[in-house]
Structure 1
Amino acid sequence: MRPFRYHRPTDVAEAVALLDREPDAAYLAGGTNLVDLMKLGVQRPGLLVDVTRLPLDTVEALPDGGVRIGATVRNSDLAAHPVIRREYPVLARALLAAASGQLRNMATTGGNLLQRTRCPYFQDVSKACNKREPGTGCAALHGQNRDLAVLGWSEHCVATHPSDMAVALAALDAVVEVHDRNGPRQIPLAELHRIPGDRPEQETTLPRGALITAVRVPASPLARRSTYHKARDRASFAFAAGSVAAALDLAGDVVRDVRIAYGAVAHRPWRAYRAEETLRGRTFSPDLAAQAADVELDAARPLRHNAFKVPLIRNLTVRALAELAGQP
């Protein structure tokens, strides 16, 4: 383990100033991702700025009917919160599908959004990885890429974003509150994560030192009728091979509105806008759901070992929407 310094700031402004001033500093919250990467030698921060004692650990009901989730709210607490379970079941289910009970007790909302890819080539410092060391190449492109991207990848990176929670929040049109050197601001979750392009080391649109302080989830007639389906190699403590977050609003059998997001298929949570447009205003059926998924997945470019993800996501889309429509 490389030696590092440790500091616990007294407020958000101090934390942001430290990261802005120290180029090798990193925020520490639950540590469920960062500490592993430090052990592997992938990340080597010289200073850890512990934000767990900052007052960012509450879930607040908002006057407009939405909810504000503090950045250090633990995943297990969020999944069990009565407002989340009642109003946003897709979020509760996504959280409970993630990791293990022990990890959910440590992992935080902000850290979950910013966790780094589990691509084996990124985690192995002996392998070429443009994300870890720009300009070295992408060993995964022609290597073992079963669990990697089929949408939005580039020749520079085929990694996927590992979060379940972020997929649910993408389907819920969440907004991320951040604090940077210029003060507080808000970023739609759909604009937080990047596709790799030629700069895969830039995983988000956040400037250096920015700290996520909360996530706002708006009130929505869709949210109560929502679900999360995840396919994985074992029943727990496994990252997704593919996942679908869905919310559906029907007027009789006609799709009044719908939200769909995919996980484990791209460098960011993948909002399925084309599938949504295919569904709106039409009489729902499982066949229509399959057609909508096909429209979205027409842009897929499977790699050598992961073509199975395309029919997997298609089937998960049909299953999730049919469940919400009462047509299992």
Structure 2
Amino acid sequence: MIPTAQVDFIIAQNLLNFWASTGVDMDKVWEILEIDESLPFPRRIPADRISAVYRYVSNELDDPMVPYDIGSYMANQSFPLQRAVISSENLRTGFDVVLKNIYYNTGSFSFEKIEETDEKVVLETRAPILGAGSDFQVCSGVVFLARLFANSLGKTRCDDDLTMIIPAPMVPADKDVSERIAIRVVPGENFLLEISKDAWLRKAETADPARFLTAMRELRKQYARFEEDVRLYQEICEILETSLLQRNVSQDYVASQLGISVRNLQRRLRPLGTTYQQLLDDARQKLAIKLIAEGDQPLYEIAYLVGYTEPSAFYKAFRRWTGMTPGEFRQTGTDD
């Protein structure tokens, strides 16, 4: 679990509502997300789990229009990010808000302005920086941005203000995608959004300075909580790495190093969508890979150092982490 790649729980809940409406097996979705429906919903969900659900939904539905529908659906929801963009003075200001806030809200998309001329601005939507995002998921991201900007322009939008460029395999030839989402779509190579320079600078129909300031305050509060969670995660990881080498990885010890109780530690981990055992497993994986890559220490000694009394249990865990045995992993480093 990497806290810098997570999806805010409000966004996750709305994605769940959409997925449920498609008729996919929601029991499988909860299983992929590793969430117990009977427990309080965590404050954030690891983005790699959300990406895994996107892949599952894509395979189950086999409907090329689903990513367009997801993007449109999410753009029409009322979250602080959407409210800030909609109430921005213009699309340029709205995009600044997206750049500063999209990743810690979704952990799923990276937007970048790759061209600006007197005639147009071109924005690119890319796969997650961390984790494995599918074209299906990235397509929903560019649709989300396009529809959000279309909502902002409102009745002032002209036909040539917005153009989405989507890789050809993602544009079904037998369906009128442009009509479905009310934005021109043309096949290309990357996920791009072209915006006319006039639309980029034009005052948005929905501009509302007071509402914009309120939404930005909400976003700043969200970011403060996010930073607090990241600091906690990083501190626990540092303690665990030292504790593994000292062979003392009990929750009591780690909690004492943080100056809190075990119960408080468990409570503070819950919003991160993880558990102490998951973090310990992550720490063991990180240390094992580091020790194998950096030296020629016998594998049985490394197994002991990361907390396994039986080498066979370590080998099994390492294969689960990397898809290779420790010996195979070391050999790949030697080959390089």
TM-score norm. by structure 2 comes to: 0.27
Structure number with higher helix proportion? 2
Structure number with higher strand proportion? 1
